[in-house]
Amino acid sequence: MGENYSYLELRALHEIARVLSKSGELKEHLQQTLDVLSTWLGMERGMISVLDLQTGEAWLDVARGVDFEAGEISYQPGEGITGKVAQTGRPMAIANLGKETHFLDRTGARKSLDRAELAFLCVPIFYHGRVAGVLSADKLVHRVESLENEVDLLSAVAELLGKVVHFRAVEEENRRLRRMLAEAKRPTTNIIGRSKVIQEVLRLIDQVADTSTTVLINGETGTGKELVARAIHDNSRRLNAPMVQVNCAAMPDSLLESELFGHEKGAFTGAMTRRRGRFEEAHGGTIFLDEVGELSSIAQAKLLRVLQEREFQPLGSSRTVKVDVRVITATNKDLEKEVALGAFRSDLFYRLNVFPIYLPALRERGPDVLLLADYFVLKYAREFGKTVKRISTSAIDLLISYHWPGNVRELENCIERAVLLSTGDAIDAWHLPPTLQMKPAGNQSASRGKLEALVSAFERDLITDALKDVKGNQSQAARLLGTTKRIIQYKVEKYGIDPKRFRARVGNVKSMARDKESSMGG
């Protein structure tokens, strides 16, 4: 029927084809297509709905002449004119909207208009023989010479739109899946931190939690290895089963076998009753062997046997106990070095080191020091009934510049003491232990450089996180951080931060803004 098109209609189709061939955002191309229909062909209002790949529901994606919020309007298969066209794949043309009972006007765009003056056109958009979306528009009745010709023209536009509309559906499905994955990437945990090294730990927890793989957690004393073990258990299918913790360093060899595997009554002097061991208590759940590097060679041999066979005999018993237990171990020692020195069995090490997780020291975690400090301030202020709410600048300087040999445990003890000593609403430098205020004479200049580097790293992370939260808007980031836009612009330039990448990550913000300004519906 192309030979019946007027010059203006051919020009409009050519312009739409040109728009769709350009590179750029798909949603923007659809919006520009509606602009062409309005400017060149006199369509009063129009909208493009995209079919959900999973449900077949038609959701309003772009519109002109209608005010709507993204994701707000949708049509079930067969619901209203749009839903009927999506379901049947056949176009519908209404000569007089005033007489059409199936027209929903869900967008409310024609509430204050005389519908008798409007004709409504609705056509399916196909991709590879399947309905991918719906294109609809209305036009003043006196400007419609032939409904058939109008439907034919709109169908030609729909043919041009097929591929773009299909990929819009794919794009939104991918965005939905990415959002679900992003939400699933941070496991349920009491671990506090936004530093890259802690995010990596959380990623590893997420990967290993819902398996039965044996995990070895490496880290200095006080880094929170038990929190990692708890997070792995809490995010696994064993969540509702027990998690049993054993401190291997506190267990003499004489009691180890009885403690881990249990004993029968009379098995040894003092065994007045039968007792279940820790492995049997953890059946169906998790056993966490802390400080596993402290086990003696005898204890290592006994542990290796139960790891290999998943069964054992309680002390003084002939019965064999089979257990289904997930084993997590932790150590502050370099077990590879211990193996090389002959202090730790190599066969046990390889059994334990299936999935290693390295937990960084607090001095490696940059901005997490202040996050943790603030958390402990609130915790102990509540516990002691104090009014302490913040940490003074002088105290912050000391906290950041200190090397924290005792890690998170030392920081917690330090803040607990400071909250107890404080008489006002802030922790000051003199409330902190003397160890934080002393440094070797030779390290003073190095510490100053280190402090500057740490403060810069902390500041960069704060600004980056704020920009992420507000989708790259520097004015909003300034308000969030309690400073001015000029200072944020200066810091962004100083640290080489690109705010545009945060806009790109959350979708086309400019396109959404334009959608709202020129919004339309049906």
In tens digits, the chain (522 residues) has pLDDT values of 445 678 888 888 999 999 888 888 888 999 999 999 888 888 878 899 999 877 888 989 999 887 777 667 888 898 888 999 999 999 998 888 776 666 766 676 666 576 778 888 999 999 989 999 999 998 888 888 888 888 999 999 999 999 999 999 888 887 777 666 655 555 677 888 888 899 899 999 999 998 989 999 999 999 999 999 999 999 999 999 999 999 988 777 767 777 887 766 645 555 556 677 888 899 999 999 999 998 888 778 888 888 888 887 777 666 778 889 999 999 999 999 999 999 999 999 999 999 999 999 999 998 889 889 999 999 999 999 999 988 988 888 889 889 999 999 999 999 999 999 999 899 988 899 988 876 544 444 444 455 566 677 777 778 888 888 888 888 888 888 878 888 888 888 888 888 887 774 334 434 433 443 333 334
Check residue 286 and give its pLDDT. 95
Domain with CATH 1.10.10 in the chain: 457-522
To 5 degrees, how large is the angle CA 32–CA 34–CA 35? 60
Q: Is residue 50 a contact partner of residue 67, using CB atoms and an 8 Å limit? A: no
490 φ, ψ (degrees, to nearest 5): -65, -45
Cβ atoms within 10 Å of 294's Cβ, excluding its own:
15
Q: Is residue 291 a contact partner of residue 339, using CB atoms and an 8 Å limit? A: no
pTM tops 0.85? no
Check residue 1 and give its pLDDT. 44
| CATH dotted code for 363-438 | 1.10.8.60
Residue 268 three-state SS: coil
Q: Is residue 60 a contact partner of residue 73, using CB atoms and an 8 Å limit? A: yes
- Do the strands 58-64 and 74-75 form a parallel or antiparallel pair, or are they unpaired? antiparallel
Tokens representing residue 167 in the block: 């990929």
- The structure tokens 């076998």 sit at 257
**Domain 2-179 CATH class label:** alpha beta
Domain with CATH 3.40.50.300 in the chain: 196-359
Q: Is residue 233 a contact partner of residue 188, using CB atoms and an 8 Å limit? A: no
254 φ, ψ (degrees, to nearest 5): -65, -25
CA pair distance 475, 484, nearest whole angstrom: 8
Check residue 422 and give its pLDDT. 92
Check residue 44 and give its pLDDT. 78
CA pair distance 371, 406, nearest whole angstrom: 17
Q: Does domain 457-522 have CATH number 1.10.10?
A: yes
Tokens representing residue 312 in the block: 């054992």
Identity (one letter) of the amino acid at 475?
A: S
Q: Does domain 196-359 have CATH number 3.40.50.300?
A: yes
Check residue 222 and give its pLDDT. 92
Domain with CATH 1.10.8.60 in the chain: 363-438
Secondary-structure breakdown of the chain: helix, strand, coil percentages, each rounded to the nearest 5: 50, 15, 35
CA pair distance 372, 374, nearest whole angstrom: 5
Check residue 367 and give its pLDDT. 82
Residue 115 three-state SS: helix
Tokens representing residue 226 in the block: 């038990």
The H-assigned helical ranges of 72-138 are 80-88
- Per-residue pLDDT of 72-96, as tens digits, reads 788 889 888 899 999 999 999 888 8
Tokens representing residue 236 in the block: 């696994």
Check residue 516 and give its pLDDT. 36
To 5 degrees, how large is the angle CA 472–CA 493–CA 393? 90
- The structure tokens 């038990």 sit at 226
- Per-residue pLDDT of 315-340, as tens digits, reads 766 677 888 999 999 999 999 999 99
Check residue 306 and give its pLDDT. 83
Check residue 145 and give its pLDDT. 82
